[in-house]
């Protein structure tokens, strides 16, 4: 068996086309959806991410502005800027690119964003809405993973066992909640879980989100399982790779996401979905 690829680039293009259609519908009502992105400091990876997010937005007709600030920016000034954006009716979504400089409290900064504009889905109000099944904004990475599962026909996961490797609030926990909402049986663990392989070999779906190379190898995967690789690492040659031993696992799984070209493009695409959703709610 050789697993089929879940092509994140192709699926993200489909999502952007859907968003563009919704943007046009709002523009016909004289509403211009707008995303405001804030970057503090000069983290090289963050600079790449925000440029991609602006470009993605522009492809759909969304208006996106990028505000850059030096790493020395006082937290109070950042909070004041967020407050101003919260109060601006022309701004529908606010994203503060993480990580922030060490002197800033990322939690306090995220919580300063109005829940109605929290298009990254990190606010405690968004997390609470996800937990109780109420409307809110889902964190973009697990939201993109769920869309990838749906693209291969996995809508109702009743009777399926999913293992999520990674317990972070950004991916692991919200991913588990979304899988549970689709009726899956979910086990959440981490790279140090005792006898991790015994758990993953039972799973119909494995989501690897640890940030550690080869945390999932072929002998840890049940034949025919679906594998979603959220990791972003570098191999010995400096090439981008995920958490999964792709070459080996592909010989066992039925579907697998590549790195690059898998979850990454879908994470950015779901940011656009959240932003258009915020604009539609504001215009309702």
Cis bond leading into 89, ω under 30°? no
Q: CA–CA separation, 29 vs 128, rounded Å?
A: 32
The helix/strand/coil state of 4 is strand
Q: Encode 41-104 in three state secondary structure.
A: CCCHHHHHHHHHHHHHHHHHCCEEEEEEECCCCCHHHHHHHHHHHHHCCCCCEEEECCCCCCCC
Q: Which two structure tokens, joined as six digits, stand for 90?
A: 């022309």
Q: Which two structure tokens, joined as six digits, stand for 44?
A: 């090289």
Report residue 256 CA to chain centroid gap: 17
53 is a catalytic site residue: yes
Burial of 234: CB neighbours in 10 Å, binned 0-12, 13-18, 19+: exposed
Annotated catalytic residue, options 56, 120, 204, 243: 120
CB 66 within 8 A of CB 54: yes
Annotated catalytic residue, options 56, 97, 204, 229: 97
97 is a catalytic site residue: yes
Annotated catalytic residue, options 53, 118, 243, 245: 53
Tell me what percent of the chain is helix, strand and coil, each rounded to the nearest 5: 45, 15, 40
Q: Which two structure tokens, joined as six digits, stand for 147?
A: 């869309």
Catalogue the active-site residues: 53, 97, 120
């Amino acid at each position: 068996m050789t697993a089929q690829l879940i092509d994140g680039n192709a699926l993200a293009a489909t999502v952007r086309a859907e968003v563009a259609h919704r943007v046009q519908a709002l523009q016909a009502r004289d509403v211009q959806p707008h995303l405001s992105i804030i970057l503090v400091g000069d983290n090289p990876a963050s600079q790449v991410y925000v440029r991609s997010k602006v470009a993605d937005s522009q492809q759909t007709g969304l208006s996106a502005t990028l505000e850059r600030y030096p790493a020395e920016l006082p937290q109070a000034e950042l909070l004041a800027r967020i407050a101003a954006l919260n109060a601006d009716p022309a701004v529908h979504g606010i994203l503060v690119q993480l990580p922030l400089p060490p002197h800033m409290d990322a939690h306090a900064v995220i919580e300063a964003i109005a829940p109605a504009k929290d298009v990254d889905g990190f606010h405690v109000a968004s997390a609470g809405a996800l937990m109780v099944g109420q409307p809110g904004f889902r964190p973009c990475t697990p939201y993109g993973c769920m869309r990838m599962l749906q693209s291969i026909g996995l809508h109702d996961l009743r009777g399926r066992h999913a293992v999520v490797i990674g317990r972070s609030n950004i991916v692991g926990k919200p991913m588990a909640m979304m899988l549970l909402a689709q009726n899956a049986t979910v086990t959440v663990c981490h790279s140090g879980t005792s006898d991790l392989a015994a758990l993953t070999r039972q799973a119909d779906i494995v989501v690897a989100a640890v940030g550690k190379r080869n945390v999932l190898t072929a002998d840890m995967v049940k034949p025919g399982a679906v594998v979603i690789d959220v990791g972003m690492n570098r191999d010995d040659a400096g090439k981008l790779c995920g958490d999964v031993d792709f070459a080996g696992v592909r010989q066992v799984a039925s579907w697998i996401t590549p790195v690059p070209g898998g979850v990454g493009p879908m994470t950015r695409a779901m940011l656009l979905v959240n932003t258009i959703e915020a604009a539609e709610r504001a215009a309702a």
